[in-house]
């Protein structure tokens, strides 16, 4: 069975929400309001099978000049282990490089998957104090998770903060 990866469209939002719903119920992904998906649809890539059914999604969110976050990476259960997640991640990494990013962050339970794809667990000192002070001004929950701020701790329990350094090679 084959699949393709493409930019998401606004018409994909309901399917993206259906795809991630089981992961939200299992507390693997954070639930978001429909409006948030529409606001961020340009950040998303989707994978679809030969029949045009959405089988995976993932988003790239810019955090800083050189730093982005992989968000909402999900694959439909029947497609797990078939390269869909890797294809989505590879596409998001390509997008990141085109934007001039050199590092990608993720907050994940899927440590093995991200480790196989070059991500490593991180500590607290990932950005310098001046950048951290700027990031602290962001209302974005993902930025707060990146900074490991106390008010998002209930969202991050059991997750691992990971980072990958991108290269042009």
Structure confidence at residue 122 (pLDDT)? 84
The arithmetic mean of pLDDT across residues 39-46, rounded, is 97
DSSP state of 43: G
Q: What average pLDDT is seen over the chain?
A: 88
Tokens linked to 76: 């439909």
Q: State pLDDT tens for residues 46-91.
A: 999 999 999 999 999 998 899 999 999 999 999 999 999 999 999 9
* Residue 24 burial (C-beta neighbours within 10 Å; 0-12, 13-18, 19+): middle
Residues 6 or more apart from 65 whose CB is under 8 A from it?
Answer: 100
Would you give the end-to-end CA distance of the chain in angstroms?
Answer: 29
């Amino acid at each position: 069975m084959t699949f393709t990866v493409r930019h998401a469209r606004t018409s994909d939002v309901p399917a993206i929400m259906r795809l991630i719903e089981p992961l939200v119920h299992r507390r693997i992904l954070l639930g978001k309001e429909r409006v948030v998906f529409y606001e961020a649809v340009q950040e998303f890539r989707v994978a679809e099978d030969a029949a045009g059914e959405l089988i995976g999604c993932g988003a790239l969110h810019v955090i800083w000049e050189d730093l982005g976050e992989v968000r909402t990476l999900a694959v439909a259960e029947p497609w797990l282990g078939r390269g869909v997640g890797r294809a989505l991640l590879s596409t998001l990494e390509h997008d990141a490089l085109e934007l001039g990013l050199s590092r990608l962050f993720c907050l994940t339970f899927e440590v093995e998957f991200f480790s196989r794809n070059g991500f490593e667990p991180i500590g607290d000192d990932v950005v310098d104090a001046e950048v951290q002070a700027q990031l602290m001004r962001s209302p974005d929950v993902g930025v707060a998770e990146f900074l490991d701020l106390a008010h998002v701790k209930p969202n991050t329990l059991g997750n691992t903060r990971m980072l990958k350094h991108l290269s042009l090679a």
